[in-house]
Amino acid sequence: MKECSIFFIWVLVLLLQSSSCSGDANVVNPCCFYPCQNSGVCVRYDTHSYKCDCTRTGFYGVNCTIPEFWTRIYLMLKPSPSVVHYILTHFQWLWDLVNNTFLRNTLMRLVLTGRSDLIPSPPTYNTKYGYLSWESYYNLSYYTRLLPPVPKDCPLPMGTTGKPVLPDVKELTERFFKRQKFRPDPQGINLMFAFMAQHFTHQFFKTNHKVQGGFTHGLGHGVDASNIYGEDLVRQHQLRLHKDGKLKYQLKNGEMYPPTVSDVPVDMVYPEGFPAEQRLAIGQKVFGILPGLTMYATIWLREHNRVCDILKAEHPTWDDEQLFQTTRLIIIGEIIKIIIEEYVQQLSGYLLKLKFDPSLLFDVRFQYSNRIALEFCQLYHWHPLMPDSFLIDGDEIPFSQFLYNTSILMHYGVEKLVDAFSRQPAGQIGGGRNSHEMVLKVAELVIRESRAVRVQPFNEYRKRFNLKPYTSFHDFTDDKEMARGLEELYGHIDALEFYPGVLLEKTRAGGTFGESMVEMGAPFSLKGLLGNPICSPVYWKPSTFGGETGFNIVKTATLKKLVCLNTKWCPYVAFHIPRNEEEAKPRKPSTEL
């Protein structure tokens, strides 16, 4: 019945439009109606006709809406995302049991495969091609796309629904993104997490803003530690010491910091007239913008050189190149381990203890490759995390004095920055109206780029990730004034843009953001992390990392070890603010882990 209704509604609309227009030039492309459901592919034939390719979707019918037998059974038994989330975040006694039995591995495997299967591999579309092509697969200069662009010949910006002109970007961000009062994250996420989010993602989010069309200026599409070592060999070799596998550094008060641009002339982004001694040379050229990023760059520099010393002691015959390359693989492994077991753990709020163990996937179908999707890049702009000011060792530094102030790093030292950032709450990402005015321009840029490359509406992505599309703006947000305002600007919920959708959506109870961010972001993230070559059966073995010692560094990596093995004393370090009085106590200098 539903199948027939969708088909006849579409036919009626098409006939009405055809009767009121003269000539084929005004005939609406049927794919502009997004008729194909459940990942069916819309193929246009002549001006009036289309077909939905339902191959391997588990559905059939004109618009891929009729479930096959086993699909129907699966849908009857499958709990909704909200039910799954509730179970994963409640019943502590149950998860205490699961986390200490074989069930942990079983559930972790299900989490990894269930999430990763939502991301196509090999990639499908890019900005230029809304259909499968060799160029979409082969040209790494493009971000890939999960959904094809809105067809160019649609009558309205978002297809066939909404207003003829999209909302003014500045008005949109001022009304719904701009912070009114700082709203701390209810899950206890802190600034240590916020700066890791920026530092970590700049390995693979490298949008080429000089070229319109969803281009990336780096060839890396995953965790490659290019934010530490540079995007290309020229920069890498400039940053390397070319002795014992190490990276170049400078010593300040006996402590290791990144060298200055005067000593290592790599391209960095600093304001005109910025003091030469404060221009630090780092793998990522924009990391001088925030002291939190230069702090992480310093920690990873120290960790790289520390691991080099360990490998050299075990392999005295190895040359500089082998020491460097093996250490880089170890660093990549440490990054993935920390991100999955601590960063994603904190973000999810799950009571299931996440586990980084690539061997869990060795007996299942899994492809060890990854392409960064434009949608993943856009949804990961989490600038509401940034506070109004930064509290360090009793001092309050306003946002304006924090930008491009690398002197903060050496003035306070890594230990005090880590301790301060671990204790200060970050902002809640979802729900809207929590972005500092200094980062609103970034939100504006994302929305403009999204329009330039014709990203499909938010509800189409909800359907792509097996979520129910919202029926109204009042269904979308609990903020009545925001719901009225968005309806006034967009006209219809089906015309709401992707990025405003994931950022403004009502948050889950006590959550960092809404349902869509979790259900869309997690598949991209886990596929990218576990799709890394070091997680494959070919790489995941001791010899890859220089033997059992190097392999053990990867398998036992934690955020605390990363910091405390590279500092004079061990500060409070975590991705969450202290949860109890014991954690909150000032720590004495210690190297115990």
Query: Any idea which residues carry the catalytic annotation?
Result: 202, 380
Q: How far is 377 from 326, CA to CA, in rounded Å? A: 29
Asked whether the beta carbons of 428 and 186 are under 8 A apart, the reply is: yes
* Burial degree of 515 (CB within 10 A; 0-12, 13-18, 19+): buried
Both tokens of 411, joined, read: 């003035």
Q: What is the CA radius of gyration of the chain?
A: 25
Question: ω before 500 within 30° of 0 (cis)?
Answer: no
Asked whether the beta carbons of 545 and 551 are under 8 A apart, the reply is: yes
| 3 state SS of 144 | strand
Closest to 48 (Cα-Cα) out of 33, 63, 60: 33
Helix (H) or strand (E) holding 256: strand 255-257
Closest to 37 (Cα-Cα) out of 13, 74, 5, 85: 5
DSSP result, 7-74? HHHHHHHHHHHHHHS-SGGGPPPGGGG----TT-EEEE-SSS-EEEE-TTTTEETTTT-EE-HHHHHH
Contacts for 56 with CB less than 8 Å, ≥ 6 apart: none
Helix (H) or strand (E) holding 391: strand 389-392
* CB atoms inside a 10 Å sphere around CB 539: 16
Contacts for 344 with CB less than 8 Å, ≥ 6 apart: 354, 522, 525, 526
Look up residue 439 and give its DSSP letter: G
Q: How far is 427 from 390, CA to CA, in rounded Å? A: 12
Closest to 511 (Cα-Cα) out of 80, 95, 79, 88: 88
Q: How far is 40 from 88, CA to CA, in rounded Å? A: 31
Q: How far is 262 from 253, CA to CA, in rounded Å? A: 19
Q: How far is 142 from 125, CA to CA, in rounded Å? A: 10
Both tokens of 2, joined, read: 């539903």
> Could you tell me how far CA 214 lies from the centroid of its own chain?
16
Residue type, 156: L
Alpha-carbon distances, residue 175 vs 172, 379, 485, 486, 489 (angstroms): 5, 19, 8, 10, 11
Both tokens of 183, joined, read: 């709203």
CA dihedral for 453, 459, 464, 467, sign (positive or negative): positive
